[in-house]
């Protein structure tokens, strides 16, 4: 019975560990690659950072002028002609190869043994953030200059969009949720049914008419345009979640306050808002992650204006135009993930609560 | 005597009316400030020769957006509280609920009607063409591929997300490392689809046959003696699976969290009774656990079906909708913004809306049955 239990728990934990590993490896590979040298990323897999057996250069021999290159030569105990050497010669644990031409070339001596890639730096981040031109020396000695990307600007833009696009819908929704929960007025039920119906409406249906309004107002390409759109799209869920929470607050507290002659506004600001902090926090995290990670709304309302583009847009643009520049892509992707991951791990409890409260998003 | 009281009363109500009129001033001023801020922000952002440092714009924008809402509600409330009590009571709900409803009507209700109208007009929105756009959408060969792809997304995306979420929730429930394991599985939910696209593009990346592979999947295939493949481009329509896998990776965390909570809600007496009666773990899972959490399974499945129906970013970033991977949302974007075809674009959006109406109807019915309202 006891051994049965041990075997069971071994299977459970083993299976769980394998699944977790599979889930984490893609992100881990990205993170590792983002700090590797730009040439290394394209030449070897990121897993070469782990100890493995491979050929490693241990020595470069420059034969002096006295060596007759037309006769068989002896290096490291291997005797061979120039032609054989330039093809490369391999013994049990040694590999020797002539690099370059017959007169001024050199010999690369490699040994087979344990090694691990260890050329790490934050150079990729500098390049993708600062937008400077970047000069690198390639293996064959030539230098290339490439342009980087100015993601730090996009990072600020994303903040400028995400903070108001989180706070505005929450404030509007908090007032509305209080109204629905604690006030009597005509058409109250019908209006709330509207909120419920709008929960699952796909936002694609609204994009083009709103875009036309923006064109008329000359609002395209501004943060304002994106806030208003996100406010509209986020409101149904925000109102719904906050209503569910507020309507379940104990009725006696409110009645006592009314008897004391407090107005709705006072009760709302002094009593209900502080009590609703958990619900407000979970929706805030939800909306913030949603806006920060959004691509479609930004793509349509901010468009190609390079000064106002958000992080997701910049990243998508690098994917489109420089899809093989893995040093930019890996570092860039990680920059877009920094803040959401911090928010997520810091406030996971609230986030989970928000999910459990119902998360049908339009 | 009476005349004086009357005079005093009318004087009182006169002064009351005066305060009411004066009380509207803060509201008007704050409205004016908001409107002025609106145009100010728009102009400093749009000006080509703007020298305003970006950080200043950002801070101003945040102050306007956040402060504006607070200012508007405070002054509006101040105004109506000065009105006669009857009017305070009548107008208070308008202050509280009005702004949100206005916003919803502007952002979702009216656009839906406008899109519906546009879907009956031709590509330039000039001539009324009845159902021609819908007819095109349902008969065009490319569009049929699009619908097939969305169906694949909905079926396989939902099945795999739900089953892997359930499996992990059950395993984690029995493990000592529950919270750690759940945090790892859940983490992708914080990553944007564009970011996830980059992560998986890297996993799928392909190099020529004779070069070392830097993509994990191809490296594994090659180490087993296979040929490196461009996973998202070949094997149509199966390349869609490599895109669906990304969404499974992203959304399993969500399914897991909901299932985990549901499993913990199953009364332990039932499970113990079953186990005393000699039921195996497998039997307990299928005969007791699954029926007990059926409600959650339906909720999660519905959410993921809606989600996959609207999938956009992943496809755009991974393939741009090429190689037979286009879906409804990417086709919508292409019709509107690449071909400038308002008619067909709107028709696709309407189809998307019709596809979610069963869920909408279900939600409304649940709401109508609620007693508290």
Q: What is the ipTM of this complex?
A: 0.85
Co-location of B309 and B202 in the same domain: yes
Co-location of A84 and A222 in the same domain: no
Are the Cβ atoms of B99 and A172 closer than 8 angstroms?
A: yes
Q: Is B96 on the interface with A (CB under 8 A)?
A: yes
Co-location of A295 and A155 in the same domain: yes
Percent of chain A with pLDDT over 90: 9
Co-location of B68 and B191 in the same domain: no
Residue A13 lies in a domain: no
Into how many domains does chain B fold?
A: 2
The answer to whether the beta carbons of residues B256 and B168 sit under 8 Å apart is: yes
A229 → chain B, closest CA residue: B107
Structure tokens, B332: 């919508």
- CB nearest A316 (choices: B194, B203, B348): B194
Residue B373 lies in a domain: no
Co-location of A93 and A165 in the same domain: no
Co-location of A286 and A232 in the same domain: yes
Best of B96, B187, B336 to disrupt the A interface (most A CBs within 10 Å) is B96
Chain A: give the shortest CA distance to residue B192, in Å.
4
Q: Give the domain-ending residue among B90, B118, B146.
A: B118
Residue A39 lies in a domain: no
Q: The whole model's pTM is what?
A: 0.84
Are the Cβ atoms of A163 and B62 closer than 8 angstroms?
A: yes
Say if residue A358's pLDDT is above 70.
no
Residue B42 lies in a domain: yes
Residue A205 lies in a domain: yes
Residue B84 φ/ψ region, left for φ over 0, alpha for ψ in the -120 to 50 degree band, beta for the rest = beta
pLDDT in tens, B146-183: 989 999 999 999 999 999 999 999 888 888 888 888 88
Residue A137 lies in a domain: no
What number of other Cβ atoms are within 10 A of residue A248's Cβ? 11
The residue range of the domain holding A224 is: 151-356
CB pairs under 8 A between A and B: 340
What is the end-to-end Cα distance of chain B in Å, rounded?
52
Structure tokens, A264: 């709705």
- Provide, as residue numbers in chain B, all residues whose Cβ is less than 8 Å from the Cβ of A239: 100
Co-location of B335 and B187 in the same domain: yes
- pLDDT class for B215, splitting at 50, 70, 90? confident
- Provide, as residue numbers in chain A, all residues whose Cβ is less than 8 Å from the Cβ of B316: 295, 316
Chain B: give the shortest CA distance to residue A106, in Å.
24
Residue A142 lies in a domain: no
Per-residue model confidence (pLDDT) at position A359: 45
What number of other Cβ atoms are within 10 A of residue B317's Cβ? 26
- pLDDT class for A150, splitting at 50, 70, 90? confident
pLDDT in tens, A216-252: 888 888 888 898 899 999 999 899 889 988 888 888 8
Residue A45 lies in a domain: no
Structure tokens, B117: 């109208």
Residue B271 lies in a domain: yes
Residue B90 lies in a domain: yes
Structure tokens, A222: 């501004």
Residue A2 lies in a domain: no
Co-location of A108 and A155 in the same domain: no
Per-residue model confidence (pLDDT) at position B156: 93
Mean pLDDT, chain B, whole residue set = 84
- Provide, as residue numbers in chain A, all residues whose Cβ is less than 8 Å from the Cβ of B312: 295-296
Co-location of B221 and B276 in the same domain: yes
Into how many domains does chain A fold?
A: 2
Sign of the CA dihedral running A121, A122, A125, A127:
negative
Co-location of A88 and A161 in the same domain: no
Q: Give the domain-ending residue among B66, B85, B118.
A: B118
Co-location of A244 and A288 in the same domain: yes
CATH number at residue A301: 1.10.3720.10
Residue carrying structure tokens 């002539």? A98
> Which 8-state DSSP code applies to residue A92?
S
Between positions 308 and 367 of B, the ones with CB within 8 A of A are 309-310, 312-313, 316-317, 320, 329, 332-333, 336-337, 342, 345-346, 348-350, 352-353, 356, 359-360, 363-364, 367
Q: Give the domain-ending residue among A115, A134, A166.
A: A115
The residue range of the domain holding B274 is: 134-368
**Around A318, how many Cα atoms within 13 Å sit in the side-chain half-sphere?**
32
Residue A173 lies in a domain: yes
pLDDT in tens, A268-324: 888 888 888 888 888 888 899 889 999 999 999 988 777 788 889 988 888 888 777
Co-location of B194 and B324 in the same domain: yes
Span B351-362, mean pLDDT? 89
The answer to whether the beta carbons of residues A177 and A237 sit under 8 Å apart is: no
B371 → chain A, closest CA residue: A189
Sign of the CA dihedral running B336, B337, B338, B339:
positive
């Amino acid at each position: 019975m006891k051994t049965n239990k041990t075997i069971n728990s071994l299977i459970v934990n083993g299976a769980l560990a394998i699944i977790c590993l599979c889930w984490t490896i893609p992100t881990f590979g990205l993170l590792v690659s983002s700090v590797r040298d730009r040439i290394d990323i394209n030449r070897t897999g990121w897993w070469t950072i782990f100890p493995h057996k491979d050929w490693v250069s241990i020595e470069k021999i420059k034969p002096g002028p006295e060596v007759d290159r037309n006769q068989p030569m002896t290096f490291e105990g291997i005797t061979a002609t120039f032609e054989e050497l330039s093809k490369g010669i391999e013994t049990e644990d040694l590999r020797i190869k002539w690099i370059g031409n017959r007169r001024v070339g050199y010999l690369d001596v490699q040994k087979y043994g344990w090694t691990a890639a260890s050329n790490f730096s934050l150079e990729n981040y500098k390049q993708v953030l600062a937008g400077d031109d970047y000069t690198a020396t390639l293996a064959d000695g030539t230098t290339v200059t490439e342009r980087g990307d100015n993601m730090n600007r996009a990072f600020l833009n994303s903040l400028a969009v995400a903070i108001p696009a989180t706070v505005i819908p929450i404030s509007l929704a908090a007032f509305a949720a209080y109204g629905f929960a604690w006030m009597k007025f005509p058409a109250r039920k019908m209006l709330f049914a509207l909120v419920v119906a709008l929960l699952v409406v796909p936002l694609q249906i609204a994009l083009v008419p709103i875009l036309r309004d923006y064109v008329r107002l000359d609002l395209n390409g501004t943060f304002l345009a994106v806030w208003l759109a996100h406010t509209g799209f986020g409101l149904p869920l925000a109102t719904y979640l906050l209503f569910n929470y507020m309507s379940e607050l104990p009725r006696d507290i409110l009645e006592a306050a009314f008897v004391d002659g407090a107005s709705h506004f006072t009760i709302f600001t002094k009593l209900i808002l502080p009590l609703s902090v958990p619900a407000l926090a979970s929706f805030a995290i939800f909306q913030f992650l949603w806006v920060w990670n959004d691509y479609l709304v930004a793509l349509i309302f901010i468009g190609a204006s390079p000064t106002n583009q958000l992080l997701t847009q910049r990243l998508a643009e690098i994917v489109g135009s420089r899809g093989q520049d893995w040093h930019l892509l890996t570092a860039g992707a990680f920059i877009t993930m920094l803040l959401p991951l911090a928010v997520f791990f810091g406030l996971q409890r609230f986030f989970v609560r928000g999910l459990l409260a119902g998360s049908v998003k339009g | 005597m009476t005349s004086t009281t009357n005079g005093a009363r009318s004087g009182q109500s006169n002064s009351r009316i005066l305060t009411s009129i004066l009380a509207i001033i803060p509201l008007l001023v704050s409205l004016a400030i908001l409107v002025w801020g609106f145009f100010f922000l728009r102009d400093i952002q749009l000006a080509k020769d703007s020298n305003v440092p970006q950080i200043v714009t950002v801070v101003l924008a945040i102050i306007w957006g956040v402060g504006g809402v607070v200012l508007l509600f405070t002054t509006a409330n101040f105004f109506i509280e000065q009105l006669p009590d009857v009017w305070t009571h009548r107008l208070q709900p308008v202050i509280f609920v009005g702004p949100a409803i206005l916003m919803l009507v502007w952002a979702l209700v009216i656009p839906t009607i406008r899109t519906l109208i546009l879907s009956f007009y031709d590509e330039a929105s000039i001539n009324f063409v009845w159902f021609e756009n819908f007819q095109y959408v349902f008969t065009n060969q490319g569009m049929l591929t699009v619908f097939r792809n969305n169906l694949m997304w909905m079926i396989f995306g939902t099945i795999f997300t739900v089953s892997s979420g359930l499996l992990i929730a059950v395993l984690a429930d029995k493990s000592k490392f529950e919270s750690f394991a759940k945090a790892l599985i859940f983490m992708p939910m914080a990553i944007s689809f564009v970011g996830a696209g980059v992560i998986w593009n890297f996993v799928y990346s392909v190099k020529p046959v004779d070069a070392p592979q830097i993509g994990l999947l191809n490296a594994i295939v090659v180490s087993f003696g296979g040929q490196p493949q461009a996973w998202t481009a070949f094997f149509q329509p199966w390349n869609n699976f490599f895109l669906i896998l990304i969404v499974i990776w992203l959304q399993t965390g969500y399914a897991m969290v909901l299932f985990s909570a549901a499993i913990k809600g199953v009364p332990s007496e039932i499970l113990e009774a079953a186990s005393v009666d000699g039921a195996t773990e497998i039997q307990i899972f299928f005969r007791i656990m699954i029926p007990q959490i059926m409600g959650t399974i339906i909720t999660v499945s519905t959410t993921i079906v809606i989600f996959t129906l609207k999938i956009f970013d992943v496809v755009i970033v991974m393939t741009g909708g090429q190689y037979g991977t286009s879906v409804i949302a990417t086709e919508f974007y292409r019709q509107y913004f690449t071909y400038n075809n308002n008619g067909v674009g709107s028709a696709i959006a309407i189809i998307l809306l019709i596809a979610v109406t069963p869920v909408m109807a279900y939600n409304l019915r649940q709401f109508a049955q609620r007693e508290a309202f």
